[in-house]
């Protein structure tokens, strides 16, 4: 029996060394967050449930960035350590904003998960901002999402 997350032998797996792979991963996460928010709004899902779903999704994307997702090829450039280091360089202020002591996120997996939760919060902020002027969503939404994804790609890859 094979692991359902491991692609069949001979399959080329995406690699986090490819900038498009990271951007696609971030975009897929953003779209899933958006879809969850829309569904939660229509079904009156409690905020706590939305937060828990976001935490699970943030943990999943973090595990992928940390090389723990067998569906992805091991990175040679964007290694888990490099990604963690890059994110630590740019997210120090976010730790303070969320009142998190650096000791709480000393472990790489916890810190990268926290980072992806911050990314998720930025998606929420973008959606809430776009909802203020619904007539502009079509004109601005895709462009602003692309800018957010580019910003986070640069944070992850250390090109910021």
Q: What is the 3-state secondary structure (H, E, C) of the chain?
A: CCCCCCCCCCCCCCECCCHHHHHHHHHHHHHHHHHHHHHHHHHCCCHHHHHHHHHHHHHHHHHHHCCCCCCCECCCCCCHHHHHHHHHHHCHHHHHHCCCCHHHHCCHHHHHHHHHHHHHHHHHHHHHHHHCCHHHHHHHHHHHHHHHHHHHHHHHHCCC
Tokens of 126: 């973008």
Residue 140 pLDDT: 92
Residue 1 pLDDT: 47
pTM: 0.87
Using an 8 Å Cβ cutoff, are 40 and 50 in contact?
A: yes
Rounded to the nearest integer, the mean pLDDT of the chain is 90
Mean pLDDT of the region 93-120: 91
Given a cut of 90, is residue 143 above it in pLDDT? yes
Percent pLDDT > 90 in the chain is: 68
Domain ranges (residues) in the chain: 19-157
Given a cut of 80, is residue 10 above it in pLDDT? no
Q: Tell me the C-alpha distance between 56 and 156, whole Å.
A: 20
Residue 4 pLDDT: 54
């Amino acid at each position: 029996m094979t692991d359902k997350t491991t692609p069949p032998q001979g399959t080329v797996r995406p690699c986090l060394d490819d900038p498009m792979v990271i951007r696609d991963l971030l975009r897929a996460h953003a779209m899933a967050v958006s879809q969850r928010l829309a569904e939660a709004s229509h079904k009156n899902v409690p905020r706590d449930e939305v937060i828990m779903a976001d935490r699970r999704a943030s943990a999943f994307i973090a595990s992928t960035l940390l090389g723990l997702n067998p569906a992805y090829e091991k990175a040679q450039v964007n290694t888990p350590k490099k990604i963690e280091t890059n994110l630590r360089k740019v997210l120090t202020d976010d730790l303070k904003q969320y009142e998190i002591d650096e000791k709480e996120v000393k472990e790489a997996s916890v810190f990268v998960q926290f980072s992806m939760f911050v990314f998720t919060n930025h998606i929420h902020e973008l959606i809430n901002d776009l909802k203020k002027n619904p007539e502009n969503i079509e004109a601005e939404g895709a462009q602003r999402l692309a800018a957010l994804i580019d910003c986070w790609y640069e944070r992850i890859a250390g090109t910021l």
